[in-house]
Amino acid sequence: MSSPNQRMGRRRKKTQKRRILFFTLFLPLLLVVFTGAGYGAFLYKKAETIVSDSYMTDGREKSALRDADVHPLEDNISILFMGIDDNNKRKYGDNSRTDALVLATLNVKDKTIKMLSIPRDTYAYIPEEDDYNKINHAHVVGGPTATIETVEELLDVPVDYYVRLNFYAFVDVVNALDGIKFNVPYDIREKDSSDVHYTYVKEGLQTLNGEEALAVARTRHADSDIERGKRQQQILQAIAKKATSFNSITKYDELLEAVGSNMRTNLTFSEMKSLITYAETDKGLNYESLALKGTDDFLPSGAYIYRPDETELEVIKGKLQRHLDIEPSDDSDEDSESEDESYSTE
């Protein structure tokens, strides 16, 4: 009988070919794009049109965990970033899974952002099905709404807004910036955005194009989902740094096209403009990266899952609840800060 580790190895070989990991933390990119839109009436109008065309309600007036409506200018809010497992070859549409989930909480007083990466195989309760499953399955059964409700159930915090992107947004954004500089940790071979060809990236510091950056963001051959999440955060910094540089001002038109044509969101143009205040502080974008700690596990069927550590999950809940200034449901230990990473893009 094969061991769990052997089954894990076979599973990863099988699923790696179909896994498309999206870099969905586009909050800094959205901020700089719409800040850049202020450079001209044309870009401003184009941004307004793109956001309006991308608008799609999640079907709720507000989160069930909220007593009243919120607005980014006045309240602490949360935004769930979803990367969907879809491309022109697959054409899953509403039946796609989420390949990446990131919850961002924004504190309006401190102008700080906390971002939690949620592994796609996280074992969680899905209210839409009244059963437990991998969290990426929620989008299959109920789209953004089911995914939002599942994340709220897992973390016990409201999800006020969502931004859903496919991986074309990532590739197009990096290409629009003429690439980003990144120190690749090891040689990489991954399927490209078409799901047909392979992209090869060598180890070392270099300028990556969109396909190469996608390969670096999605790979986990030599490490794990947690390490991959850390790489995504580093790539985020590289994108934000390049997008906010003076030389990128002329690229804002292309950035708008790259984001808008691949995005769905329930943020209105007015609400999205309000987020600019988070980039206008002396420290620049001030955000902290959080990791959902857990262990590899298997269901009786043999299916692999990522099981969150219950103690660490309570710690994460407490941090997010305090950042949103809502009453924690349980006491949480504030000490588990050593592995969190704070960043700014000044």
Q: Tens digits of per-residue pLDDT, 28-49?
A: 555 555 555 555 677 778 888 8
pLDDT on residue 35:
53
CA angle at residue 63 from 288 to 240, to 5 degrees?
Answer: 30
pLDDT on residue 32:
52
Is the C-alpha dihedral spanning 127, 128, 131, 136 positive or negative?
Answer: negative
Which tokens is 79 given? 């935004």
Nearest to 225 by CA among 156, 295, 280, 163: 295
Say whether pLDDT at 183 is over 70. Answer: yes
Say whether pLDDT at 218 is over 90. Answer: no
Which tokens is 124 given? 């969680």
pTM: 0.79
* Cα 141 to Cα 53, 127, 132, distances in angstroms: 25, 10, 13
pLDDT on residue 98:
87
Among 42-46, 267-271, 338-342, name the one with the lowest average pLDDT.
338-342
- Domain ranges (residues) in the chain: 23-174+250-344
The yes/no answer on whether domain 23-174+250-344 falls in CATH 3.30.420.590 is yes
pLDDT on residue 30:
57
